[in-house]
Amino acid sequence: MKRLLALAMTLSAAPLAAQQDLSKVEIRAEQVVPGVHVLFGAGGNIGLSTGADGSFVIDDQFAPLTPRIQAAIAKIADRPVRFVLNTHWHGDHTGGNENFGKAGALIVAHDNVRVRMSSEQFIASLNQKVPPSPAVALPVVTFDASTTFHINGDAIRAVHVPNAHTDGDSLVHFTKANVVHMGDTYFANGYPFVDLSSGGSVTGLIDAVNRGIALGDERTRYIPGHGPVTDRAALVRYRDMIADVVAKVRAGIAAKRSVEQVVASKPTARYDAQWGNAFIKPDRFVQTVYASLVAPRHHKPAGRTH
Ligand SMILES: [Zn+2]
């Protein structure tokens, strides 16, 4: 029973669990500030702006959850979803695109999100092949550096952060509401997942988190890709933890230690109780940091247009 429970918890925490049983998943809405909500379910946290101009949605979890997500949104706002912004291409953040696209929402994302969703992808660390998405699921409007939505009395700015969790990550800054959706550059309850085969890197991840920290102040609410909403101090602690582990692994590489030796030296030891029990286990995090630091260069998505 205990093992079953542990397995269930592992599955519910797994950002990309394709085989996850979604039939029991409930979508729970929480107000972040007036006019901005977060929806928790399975997969990436959904950000939601509501108001007179219509609904603006950040990420849309898995396709089978769309009716439940739509019902949760309808309880908060009676206007249609006009825009879906994807923080990156992973299926637990874009799985509802096809449904929302068919329902009339305009899908927006960084250029590389469309590139990766348009062709078969392979996530090496999960040994997972991902087929191309149908045309209606693809972002219709893409951007390179940033774009701004002037909606519901706010200016909602999506800012690309290069080579972080993937090569197509955006942070989404509600400049008036003082909320930032960090996408998967922020795992609020565990070690970060860096998808090296999608162009992610640990140094880019730290840069992205620093960008997020710089966007806010001590009153900013931060929506992570996974885990609960936090304040800026928690995001700073997450950054400091990653930077410390990266520094220790870098020192090991400089001392010509192998990845096995660096893993055995347990550079995450002091953090494992707090961060080591979620999707990414300590050894895997260290292996990823090592691989990222010794990687000659970032993987470019096939068919990149610029
Ligand atoms: Zn992701």
**pLDDT exceeds 50 at position 10:** no
CA 246 to ligand 1 center in whole angstroms: 20
If phi > 0 it is left, if psi is from -120 to 50 it is alpha, else beta; for residue 104 that is left
In which residue are the tokens 């090569």 written?
167
CA 278 to ligand 1 center in whole angstroms: 14
CA 227 to ligand 1 center in whole angstroms: 13
Distance in angstroms (rounded) separating the CA atoms of residues 188 and 224 = 6
pTM of the model: 0.92
User: From the CA atom positions of the chain, what is the Rg in Å?
Assistant: 19
Mean pLDDT of 129-135: 96
pLDDT band at residue 13, thresholds of 50, 70 and 90?
Answer: very low
pLDDT at 3: 43
CA 43 to ligand 1 center in whole angstroms: 9
Render pLDDT for 42-51 as a digit per residue (tens, 0 to 9): 999 999 999 9
pLDDT band at residue 16, thresholds of 50, 70 and 90?
Answer: low
CA 52 to ligand 1 center in whole angstroms: 31
Angle, to 10 degrees, between the axis of helix 282-294 and the axis of helix 232-254? 60
pLDDT at 20: 73
